Amino acid sequence: MEDLWSIAVVLLQVWFSVMIGFIMIPAMFGLSLGVTSVYIQILVKILEVTVRKLDEKGGSMEQEMGELRRYRTQSISRGEFALSDSFYFYIKGLESIVDDQVTQRFSSEELVSWNLLTRTNHNFHYISLRLTIIWGLGVIIRYCVLFPLRITLAIIGLTWLVIGTTLVGFLPNNRLKNWLSELVHLMCYRICARGLSATIQYHNKLNKPQKGGICVANHTSPIDIVILANDGCYAMVGQSHGGLMGVIQRSMVRSCPHVWFERSEMRDRNAVTSRLRAHVAAKTNLPILIFPEGTCINNTSVMMFKKGSFEIGGTIYPVAIKYDPRFGDAFWNSAKYNMVNYLLRMMTSWAIVVNVWYLPPMTRRVGEDAAQFANRVKSAIAHQGGLLDMAWDGSLKRAKVKEEFKEQQQKMYSSMVMGKKGRNSQEPHTESTRRQ
Amino acid sequence: MGSRASTLLREEEIEEIKKETGFSHSQITRLYSRFTSLDKGENGTLSREDFQRIPELAINPLGDRIINAFFPEGEDQVNFRGFMRTLAHFRPIEDNEKNKDPIASEPLNSRSNKLLFAFRLYDLDRDDKISRDELLQVLRMMVGVNISDEQLGSIADRTIQEADQNGDNSISFNEFIKVGNVYILYIDIDIDI
């Protein structure tokens, strides 16, 4: 018994020294031993070799839809009203029942080829013994080797964040405090990133958000914050929580100003805007980090940006974040998984591989209103990240669509019908596939 | 879309649906996956609210009619079999479809069944005639508030005039077929797997 105990103690010591020596300390100083990148390369090789067979064929539904539509729109533009006009709406309706552009954004992306995680393969059929064995090995590695490592790192990272920021908070407000605060924040986020085996590639670093600006990015998961904060310091904006999150929030605020709102304050848009404006006006404050979509989307598209963030003024620094879905599904489906469940899933994926693009800063043009500006920024982000630019509102995840959009459709159809009576129709004949 | 999708649909059920509707195995599993993702209550049936949650369907002027087509008389829930049966009307007609059983009933997606389905979307009271009122109802749904009652009335009258052949001031199924036949070829949806 005693022997076993002493062996266990030795193992634990080795474990900790490996962790501290090889992972934490380089992480704290922003260096990398390159282990993660080697791991990623090996992983890619394995996935390519073993899972080639599962590639599914199939053209897109949209291509074929487009062809059918050509016939139907012709039929509509030729006559006034025909009994078959209603068929057009029936088909559109049925097609949206079979698959639609919006609701699929609120669930995880489907992969073309499997990445050896059962959670991403919905139709898991038994393919071959070899694949099953490799999958089994994968499970063992992910749950028994990677997971304990990552959890320990995450705990250390968060604890250090709380302790470090509290200690820094005791200093008087001067440059030393700011410098130390940034150092502490960076170190802790780097440790947390290691805790997720995150490999982040930053592009265009010269466009990095500056003090007194506002950073906007597309939102896929709470991990976005860790990803962005690995390369710079931001002032976070959000609701004050209780519990563990609350402890972290309160200690962070001690070392440098973040903007935490009470739940009641959040409903008052003016109060929110004025607080953010005050923060931005003080040019020495860190750039604010905002996710204008307002909710997590599954990283295949960018949904409508809420114009509130674009009314504050100041310079906007857009950032595009794209996760590589082969290594793990980063999307947080908050309807399905709570935060703890989600983090556990993250820590048992292969890795998190992210590309972050810093886009050149933008400001509101003369004569442009906040909504148009928001759209402009959104298109830039979607274009850079290779995501679909959608005009649908992310809040459709939980709320119903507004009646006005149906009225728009009716109006369009009416002008088609009336326009044939000799009056020139002003409305251009366009497909209303995407509407605000 | 849950990973339990394919585990909850048994092989025998898939075979039965295949026979009844003509969809392929992969199309059925794909649609089952879609069915479960729409089924927020996770009780194996869809309600009208579940359909309404699809934004593109909610803004469709005829959305309510389409949704109603899925629900049998007086019922508020539709299960997967019912869902598939309705969708089967719109499965593309394939050239290589042979009737394995010569006395089997006509497939759900035959031309006349498709037209009957479209006809029933107008003919709510199932009296096998589209009356002026029923036509007006559908017209009103499609144009909203943008056209006056008189104008809409005259459009309806004109349409009935053109289609009506036996002078009963309504459109019967045979008269409907003559008008609708050209476009029926395009009433199918592709379920791509």
ipTM associated with this complex: 0.82
Average of per-residue pLDDT across A279-286: 82
Distance from CA of B189 to the nearest CA of A (A): 6
Q: Give the model confidence (pLDDT) of B29-59 as tens digits.
A: 888 888 888 888 788 889 988 888 888 888 8
Whole-number average pLDDT of chain B: 78
Q: What is the pLDDT of residue A319?
A: 93
pLDDT at A127: 62
- In B, residues 36-65, which contact A (CB 8 Å cutoff)? 37-38, 51-63, 65
Residue among B56, B62, B159 whose CB faces A90 most closely: B62
Q: What is the pLDDT of residue B6?
A: 43
B24 touches chain A (CB under 8 A): no
Q: How many CB atoms lie within 10 A of CB A175?
A: 8
Contacts of A68 in chain B (CB under 8 A): 186
Residue A427: pLDDT over 60: no
Taking CA atoms, A2 is separated from A309, A334, B21, in Å, by 62, 47, 69
Measure in Å the smallest separation between the Cα of B91 and chain A Cα atoms.
Answer: 11
Non-local CB neighbours of A327 within 8 Å, separated by 6+ positions: A40, A43, A115, A349, A350, A351, A352, A353
The number of angstroms, rounded, from the C-alpha of A267 to the middle of its chain's C-alpha atoms is 24
Task: Please state the rounded mean pLDDT for residues A293-309.
Answer: 84
The verdict on a CB contact (< 8 Å) between B179 and A82 is: yes
Q: Which residue has the tokens 């008008």?
A: B179
Place of tokens 């089997």: B104
In chain B, pLDDT over 90 holds for what percent of residues? Answer: 1
B11 has a chain A CB within 8 A of its CB: no
Average pLDDT over residues B15-30: 85
Phi, psi of B171 (to 5 degrees): -105, 120
Q: From its phi and psi, is residue A59 left (phi > 0), alpha (psi between -120 and 50) or beta?
A: beta
Which tokens hold the place of B161? 């005039």
Going by the DSSP 8-state scheme, the letter that residue A165 receives in this structure is H
Q: Of the candidates A83, A96, A414, which has its C-beta nearest B143's C-beta?
A: A414
Interface check B8 vs A, CB under 8 A: no
pLDDT above 50 for A207 = yes
- From B179, which residue of chain A is nearest by alpha-carbon distance? A83
Q: Which of A58, A406, A414, A93 is nearest to B187 (CA)?
A: A93
Q: Name the residue among A112, A144, A108 with its Cα closest to residue A47.
A: A112
pLDDT band at residue B8 using 50, 70 and 90 as cut-offs? low
Are the beta carbons of A91 and B142 separated by less than 8 Å?
no
Say whether A81 and B155 touch across the interface (CB within 8 A). Answer: yes
For A77-99, write each residue's pLDDT tens digit. Answer: 444 566 767 777 777 888 888 88
Pairing outcome for strands A316-323 and A352-358: antiparallel
Judged against a pLDDT cut of 80, whether residue A124 lies above it is answered with: no
Q: How far apart are CA B69 and CA B83, in angstroms?
A: 10
Would you say A193 and A226 are in contact if contact means Cβ atoms under 8 Å apart? Answer: yes
Residue count (chain A): 436
Q: Is the pLDDT of residue A287 over 80?
A: yes
Q: Are A359 and A322 in contact (CB under 8 A)?
A: no
Query: Hey, are the CB atoms on B1 and A409 less than 8 Å from each other?
Result: no
Interface contact A118-B3, CB threshold 8 A: yes
B55 vs A103: CB contact, 8 Å cut-off?
A: yes
> Using CB atoms and an 8 Å cut-off, which of residues 76-115 of chain B contact chain A?
87, 90
pLDDT band at B12 (very low <50, low <70, confident <90, very high): confident
Tens-place pLDDT, residues A306-321? 888 888 878 899 999 9
CB pairs under 8 A between A and B: 169
Which residues in chain A are contacts of B90 at CB distance < 8 A? 91, 94
Place of tokens 């029923």: B134
d(CA B155, CA B161) in angstroms, rounded, equals: 10
pLDDT digit string, tens, across residues A411-426: 777 777 776 443 333 3
What integer pLDDT is reported at residue A246 of this predicted model? Answer: 81
- Contact in structure between A168 and A180 (CB atoms under 8 Å): yes
**Top-confidence range, A72-76, A241-245, A301-305, B101-105:** A301-305
Angstroms from B81 CA to nearest CA on chain A: 15
Is the CB of residue B177 less than 8 Å away from at least one CB of chain A?
Answer: no
* Rounded-to-integer distance, Cα A284 and Cα A291, Å: 22
As a whole number, the mean pLDDT across chain A is 76
More confident residue, A217 or A60: A217
B34, B53, B187: residue with CB nearest A99 = B34
Q: Picking from A40-44, B161-165, B181-185, which range would have the lowest pLDDT averaged per residue?
A: B181-185
What is the three-class DSSP state of A281?
helix
Distance CA A243, CA A339 (A): 13
Between these two residues, A78 and A102, which has the higher pLDDT value? A102
Answer whether residue A50 shows pLDDT above 80: no
Q: B155 CB near a chain A CB, below 8 Å?
A: yes
Q: Which tens digit of pLDDT belongs to each residue from A347-383?
A: 888 788 889 999 999 888 888 888 888 889 999 998 8
What is the least distance, in Å, from the CA of B131 to any CA of chain A? 13
**Which amino acid is residue A80, in one-letter code?**
E
CB atoms inside a 10 Å sphere around CB A264: 8
For A352-367, b/e burial (b = at least 16 CB within 10 A) is: bbbbbbbbebbebeee
Dihedral angle sign, alpha carbons of residues A183, A188, A193, A195: positive
Could you give the 3-state DSSP secondary structure of residue B188? coil
